[in-house]
Amino acid sequence: MSIMPPEPSPGLDLETAPLLVRDWIVHRFPDALQWFVHHLLSITVILTVFGLFFAFTTIAERKLLARLQNRLGPNRSGLPWFRSLKLWGLTQPFADAIKAITKEDVVPAAADKVLHFLAPVVIVAFSLLGFAVLPFGRHLIPVELDAAILYFFAAGTATELAIFMAGWGSRNKYSLLSAMRALAQLISYELPLILSVVPVILVTGTLSTRDIALAQGGWTWGVLPHWHVFTPWGFAGFLIFLVAALAESNRSPFDLPEAESELIAGHLTEYSGFKYALFFMAEYFGLTALSGLGVTLFLGGWQAPFAILEIIPSYLWFMGKLAGMIVFFIWIRGTLLRLRIDQLTRLSWKFLVPLALLNLGNAAFWALTPGWTGPLALARWAVSAAIVIVPFVLLGRRLTAGYAPRTYRYAA
């Protein structure tokens, strides 16, 4: 949503419609206020769209998890005055929101009142900042920064501060210990997350999310999109990014900070009511923002997979891919078991970090050999794939040596 002149494109009307609406509203205001209204509109749209996206992610998550386990999931909440309308339980998030707002907000007597209050505010604020630099469509990018990726990770990492604020401000030893555990996890996975992103920056030569999305346009032989995930280094980077993103957003199987079946609530033990809901919201915002970044960096951003499908507006492609990522994360949550803290850190330091570093070299090789065409292109692919697969197999063997395959002495 920058002040970029809309270029003509195939899906002209739908593609530029949001911009036209925005400009129409902005021009209702005096000149001095226009920049302010412009940004206020972007913020409002992001808060509304991703607020609703969050609400429906929660119900989609509960429904999908249920289906993955042969259950029905929530299907009873309808509308207050139309009892016969069941709506497949889709109004559940609003009922949950009302419940969270009306619950009592308990603050421990010994808590640091300021920090205890600030932590949920700070975490939501910082987890929302990431959305500012995501290119949602061909012309839709709230803030166009040259160093967008740097900004994204700086803002995203600040949520770790809020987690420690929550643990410290609660004045509860369990909260504090869990917050430290959470930090250990988040800092361990910050490294593979960023190292998985660096190859993209290396190959595209830019930190701007808009340019990275643009660089993935076009097709090889008119079929294979130039998305980074369809290159050996991009595929490996995407996988590392997925694992690290799961851990960064406290999702199962890395949901140790708030392991609901083992701990009370980790660093959220002393939070109740809407403050707890804010942490929950921030977790989903963080996941959505990271998924959005993953889509932008590896899955072609707002680019359509086939040239014919470009008639569908680019922002719908982006939201579709984003929803696909979220569904995949839910699928993972419905499948995998929670790791132990030592397994978690071992996976990061002994497996993901070395692989990500090698992948960086892989991307450097790829960036140095764009001239290899014809039969040499095959060699380029083979070398690049070997740099991914061989260390994966070897490191995987070392990582699981002595641990897998597991033998069960008592269970059949």
Partner 1 sequence: MLGSGILKGLGVTAKNFAGSYHDPARMVTQEYPDTPVKLPEAYRNFPFLVTENATDPMGTLRCVACQICEKECPPQCIYIEKSKDKKPDATGKPQLYPAVFAIDTAVCMSCQLCVEVCPFDAIKMDQIFEVAATNRFAGLLLNREQLAKPNSYFHQLHPTDAAEVDGRLGAERKAAEEKARAAAAAKAAAPKPAAPAVTPAPKPAAGGPTP
By CB under 8 A, how many residues form the interface with partner 1? Answer: 18
Interface with partner 1 (CB under 8 A), residue from 31, 70, 104, 374? 70
According to the binding rule CB under 8 A, does residue 350 interact with partner 1?
A: no
Closest C-alpha among 219, 190, 186, 214 to residue 200: 214
Interface with partner 1 in residues 363-402 (CB under 8 A): 392-393, 396-397, 399-400
According to the binding rule CB under 8 A, does residue 87 interact with partner 1?
A: no
Rounded least distance, CB 396 to partner 1, Å: 3
Rounded least distance, CB 209 to partner 1, Å: 29
According to the binding rule CB under 8 A, does residue 334 interact with partner 1?
A: yes
Residue 222 in 3-state DSSP?
coil
Q: Given the rule CB under 8 A, which of 220-228, 289-297, 333-341, 371-379 is the region that contacts partner 1?
A: 333-341
Residue nearer to partner 1 on the CB measure, 67 or 99: 67
Closest C-alpha among 249, 333, 317 to residue 284: 249
Interface with partner 1 (CB under 8 A), residue from 47, 52, 67, 101? 67
According to the binding rule CB under 8 A, does residue 68 interact with partner 1?
A: yes
According to the binding rule CB under 8 A, does residue 240 interact with partner 1?
A: no
Closest C-alpha among 130, 227, 252, 242 to residue 197: 242
In one-letter notation, the amino acid at residue 11 is G
According to the binding rule CB under 8 A, does residue 332 interact with partner 1?
A: yes
Rounded least distance, CB 387 to partner 1, Å: 17
Contacts of the segment 392-395: beta carbons below 8 A, 24+ positions apart: 392/236, 392/355, 395/350, 395/351, 395/354, 395/355
Interface with partner 1 in residues 244-273 (CB under 8 A): none
Residue nearer to partner 1 on the CB measure, 125 or 399: 399
CA separation, residue 11 to residues 251, 310, 392 (Å):
37, 7, 42
According to the binding rule CB under 8 A, does residue 202 interact with partner 1?
A: no
Residue nearer to partner 1 on the CB measure, 69 or 220: 69
According to the binding rule CB under 8 A, does residue 27 interact with partner 1?
A: no
Q: Are 205 and 149 in contact (CB under 8 A)?
A: no
Rounded least distance, CB 67 to partner 1, Å: 5
Closest C-alpha among 70, 126, 390 to residue 248: 126
Instruction: Quote the DSSP letter at residue 40.
Output: H
Packed helices 314-335 and 232-248: angle between N→C axes, nearest 10 degrees: 60
Interface with partner 1 (CB under 8 A), residue from 21, 72, 382, 386? 72
DSSP for 330-389?
Answer: HHHHHHPPPPPHHHHHHHIIIIIHHHHHHHHHHHHHHHH-TT--THHHHHHHHHHHHHHH
Residue nearer to partner 1 on the CB measure, 74 or 93: 74
Interface with partner 1 (CB under 8 A), residue from 36, 94, 306, 331? 331
> What residues have CB less than 8 Å from 223, skipping those under 6 apart?
306
| CB count in 10 Å sphere of residue 117 | 16
Q: Are 365 and 384 in contact (CB under 8 A)?
A: yes
According to the binding rule CB under 8 A, does residue 64 interact with partner 1?
A: yes
Rounded least distance, CB 77 to partner 1, Å: 14
Rounded least distance, CB 277 to partner 1, Å: 27
Cα 171–176–182 angle (5° rounding)? Answer: 150
Rounded least distance, CB 40 to partner 1, Å: 41
Distance CA 235, CA 409 (A): 38
Rounded least distance, CB 173 to partner 1, Å: 35
Given the rule CB under 8 A, which residues bind partner 1? 64, 67-72, 331-332, 334-336, 392-393, 396-397, 399-400
